[in-house]
A and B are shown apart, each in its own frame.
Chain A
Amino acid sequence: MLAMDYRGPKRVRVTQKPMPEIKHPEDAIVRVTRSCICGSDLHLYNGNVPDTRVGTTFGHEFVGEVVEIGSEVTKLKVGDHVIVPFNISCGKCHFCKQGLYGNCHESNPMATAVGAIYGYSHTAGGFHGGQAEYVRVPYANLNPTVIPPGMDLDDAVLLTDVVPTGYQAAEMAGIQPGNTVVVFGAGPVGIMAAKSAWLFGAGRVIVLDKEDYRLEFVRNYAPCEAYNFEKDMQDPVLFIKKITDWMGADCVIDAVGAEASGDVMQTITGRKLLLQAGSATAIHWAINSVKKGGIVSVVGVYGPTDNLVPIGNVLNKGLTIRGNQTAVKRHLPRLIEHVMNGVIKPKEIITHRIPLEDIADGYRMFSDKLDNCIKPVLMMPTAR
């Protein structure tokens, strides 16, 4: 089968790889029909996530058709078309029972600070991802959810990560009716966070980014106030204070993470030299621009441990400041309802369709924000 193949920082290609096999009785094999490149994949692509081994296949956003099931799989059958949450969770451990599906304790032997994620380095379990024609899906009785009749596959694939992550970002921000919410980052997750903030009753939503085309997009999609932090202001924190009656925002969402621009020192130490777990610019801005007693919600991905504070662990372990890998499974019923009712229209953020064979160009376009790229979807040869 054809699959994406990581060869080193900013170097990927498509190669022939062996078909995935059932390795556990609760496994299923899924033929991928839609897959995406996620902003989080760029941390891997740039070589920022430790234990990203050459030869692995990325991709944690995918939907597909079940082609084979293990002996203990009872809740799926061959031929089902499923949404596969990006988390790999068992449903039985202490954390899954709490609904913390992003923190499963029976999926990732390599680390305890983060749950297992498809195609997200060995730090997240060492699983091959869905930027391939076929993929192994563990714990098939729990995670995959059958796509409801009538749902567009483009909508479905965005329910594997982007929509739930934006939604949980707003949920974790503890928005009360009438609150002012600031979102740092107008990438796909930031856009969905801004959209979701309204669903939780926000009174005002403000988005900051440095790409005009993204700001234009989020203004129309969310809808919200959107500002360019490089052009419209000198200091984003001061700007937020000024436009919120000198109090600060009630809730701030960091939808950026380790790749943040906007601070030279952070860029050099975090992104270029890897002396800390990525550039911490967005989280600094979030903490400084929220009002006293406000809430900061972190869904931006940071690297593990080697930071001034282990902020990556705050995200991955779901500690205070309210960050976590999103428990996709927990949100799916509600979000499927929203999509079917037209409250959220995820597929509108898809801007590019890229053949799997051209994946290197896709990564480059998304990484360098070429051609006004917001969200690229990969088209599999077996699903065209």
Chain B
Amino acid sequence: MQKHVIDPKSVPGWGIDADPENDPTYPMKPHRTDLEEQGYNWERPTQQPIDVEILHSNERPNVTAVFGTASPPQGLSGIIRRWAFRWSENEYNHWLPLILADRVNVVEGVLEDLAHGKFPNIWKEKGYNASWKHDRTSLILRLSAFTAVTAGLVLWLTSGDDDKGSRKKKKNKKKARYYDENEYYADDRYYDENQY
């Protein structure tokens, strides 16, 4: 595509307020050249050896000259991240799976700890020592609420099995009747087709 070049000096009023002293809020370059419109025109720094898996945004053609190697993708979360990076940063398909992968990664982290014989010290990792020291009432309230909800859930799931079972049976019975009726009609048709 050919560039449509306009001589800025031909624009009425051009540069009348272009005094950087007047507007220190935008970092100004002394000149803007045509070359700089052509993409990667700068002398690129030495490329860091790519010896770990790097997922790079598909909004750029390459891996940057340097990059972090903190936690390369792995496991199920890694699979989700690889899929997410097929989409551009403009897409929910990029960001939402990454958030999902983060949550999966948390579970993987706990499993990894357990696999290494380490049981995570949740109280300490959540900094509850500080809350206990400076905000005890709120911590007790929060933990009580959490305990009550969890206990309620456990009780609900473990109690009333007979009732739940009977409801299930009734549902199945109803479903069975429906299928019986279908079979009945299907059988009718079968016989009709043979007859004629």
Chain A residues at the B interface, C-beta cutoff of 8 Å: 7-13, 23-27, 47, 50-57, 72, 88, 90, 92-94, 97-100, 105-113, 116, 122-123, 125-128, 138-139, 171-174, 274, 303-306, 322, 327, 330, 358, 360-365, 368, 370-371
Cβ-defined contact, A8 with B106, below 8 A: yes
Cβ-defined contact, B131 with A50, below 8 A: no
Chain B: interface residue total (CB-CB under 8 A): 65
Q: Closest residue to A47 on the B side, CB-wise? A: B102
State whether A111 and B89 are in contact (beta carbons under 8 Å apart), knowing that A7-B109, A52-B102, A126-B69 are contacts in the complex. Answer: yes
Cβ-defined contact, B68 with A122, below 8 A: yes
Q: Closest residue to B96 on the A side, CB-wise? A: A306
State whether A26 and B46 are in contact (beta carbons under 8 Å apart), knowing that A50-B102, A122-B68, A126-B70 are contacts in the complex. Answer: yes
Cβ-defined contact, B125 with A368, below 8 A: no
Question: In the assembly, what is the distance between CA of A128 and CA of B110, in Å?
Answer: 20
Cβ-defined contact, A94 with B42, below 8 A: yes
Shortest A380–chain B CB gap in Å is 19
- Beyond A110-B67, A363-B127, A370-B131, 16 additional contacts (C-beta under 8 Å) are A8-B106, A10-B126, A13-B121, A50-B98, A53-B77, A54-B71, A54-B105, A55-B71, A72-B46, A98-B28, A173-B25, A174-B23, A305-B92, A361-B129, A362-B127, A370-B135
Shortest A121–chain B CB gap in Å is 9
Question: In the assembly, what is the distance between CA of A13 and CA of B121, in Å?
Answer: 9
Question: In the assembly, what is the distance between CA of A12 and CA of B130, in Å?
Answer: 13
Question: In the assembly, what is the distance between CA of A100 and CA of B71, in Å?
Answer: 27
Cβ-defined contact, B71 with A322, below 8 A: no
Question: In the assembly, what is the distance between CA of A150 and CA of B120, in Å?
Answer: 44
| B48-56, B150-158, B171-179, B185-193 - interface stretch | B48-56
Question: In the assembly, what is the distance between CA of A74 and CA of B14, in Å?
Answer: 43
Cβ-defined contact, A24 with B43, below 8 A: no
Lowest 6 A-B CB distances belong to which pairs? Answer: A364-B127, A126-B68, A127-B68, A99-B27, A8-B106, A50-B98
Contact partners of A97 in chain B: CB under 8 A: 29, 42
Contact partners of B122 in chain A: CB under 8 A: 11
Interface mask (B5-47 → A, CB under 8 Å = 1, otherwise 0): 0000000000000000001110111000000100001111110
Q: What are 17 sample pairs from A and B whose C-beta atoms fall under 8 A apart?
A: A12-B127, A25-B46, A50-B95, A53-B102, A92-B42, A109-B54, A109-B55, A112-B89, A122-B71, A125-B64, A128-B70, A305-B89, A360-B126, A360-B127, A362-B130, A364-B126, A370-B134
Question: In the assembly, what is the distance between CA of A330 and CA of B28, in Å?
Answer: 12
Which of B54, B91, B102, B106 neighbours the largest number of chain A CB atoms within 10 Å of its CB?
A: B102
State whether A12 and B106 are in contact (beta carbons under 8 Å apart), knowing that A56-B70, A90-B45 are contacts in the complex. Answer: no
